[in-house]
Amino acid sequence: MAALSGRYMEFHQVHGANVRIDSTGTQATRVESFANGVCFSRQPLLPGELFLVEIEEKELGWCGNLRVGLTGIDPRSMAVVPEYSLPDLVSLGDSWIFAITRNHNRAPPGEGEEEEGVTSRSKDFFTASHLQIGSMRIPMDKLVGRSRPGRFSHILDDLYKTNALPPTARRSRIGVLYVPRSPGTADMHIVINGEDMGPCSRGIPTHHPLYAVVDVFAATKSVRVIQLEYGFPSLQTLCRQIIQKHIVHRTAIAWLDLPRLLKHICMYE
């Protein structure tokens, strides 16, 4: 877990023809059409490391949504980035892609999965604050998207509390990681708004580096990488949680006598 701390996640400089990456390397926007939006993580993922994105912008008129997954192909070796992650990238081999839909995303449980505790909530200090997948504990605080305060935010906040935000909605947060299962193999997990969808692909070979794949496809127009903390929450996170705990509603943060940056973090993160 110590190896994961301090790793700054961003998109690779190699990407689909219709994608533009911002100057920070953390926002990918499809600027035209509905395809050629395949992106990769800048560096291979470590075991248990989650590559998490938030849907920033949607585009009406297209059928289909975000697709995420893993690939063992080094993006730098690609003469041309495939137009689609499904089926084009998958057909190249060593790639496993999962299509995000509005409702049915959970993968069917594998044999013996529940008994082995592959995916579970910790029973100690981390019970409410962390999602546990295998031996990895990931803070829930950053995994669930939040609404922007506005006219209907009193309604939206209740939806977020019950984790009822549709996976394809704006502000939804979706990530991919892999968990070693046996020597040389791993399972791919997709996490949607703090909920593990289970092993979506099993027996993935790990003899080569695995990059995250994010296909900014169709109705999904723009996504942003979310930086994560592992293990115990940071002082910033603890301060935010205390402030949020003692207010009636998130919009009230705007009237607190706090620095502007701190108020922004408390309201949106």
pLDDT in tens, 85-116: 999 999 999 999 999 998 867 776 665 454 34
pLDDT at residue 222, as a whole number = 98
Position 160 pLDDT exceeds 60: no
Cβ-in-10-Å burial (0-12, 13-18, 19+) of 169 comes to middle
Backbone angles phi, psi at 36, to 5 degrees: 55, 40
Please tell me the least confidently modeled range out of 14-28, 110-124, 235-249.
110-124
Check residue 254 and give its pLDDT: 80
> What's the pLDDT tens digit per position in 4-59?
656 899 999 999 999 999 999 999 999 999 999 999 999 999 999 999 999 999 99
Closest CA relative to residue 117, chosen from 184, 178, 198, 190: 198
Contacts of 123 (CB under 8 A, 6+ apart): none
- Record the pTM: 0.81
The tokens describing 162, both together, are 């019950």
pLDDT in tens, 135-147: 778 878 788 876 6
Q: How far apart are the first and last CA of the chain?
A: 23
**Mean pLDDT on 77-91:** 97
pLDDT recorded at residue 121: 43
How far is the C-alpha of 215 from the C-alpha of 97, rounded, in Å?
9
178-198 average pLDDT score: 93
Contact 217, 34 (CB under 8 A): yes
DSSP at 226: E
Q: Mean pLDDT highest for which of 77-81, 152-156, 196-200, 239-243?
A: 77-81
3-state percent breakdown (helix, strand, coil) of the chain, nearest 5: 20, 30, 50
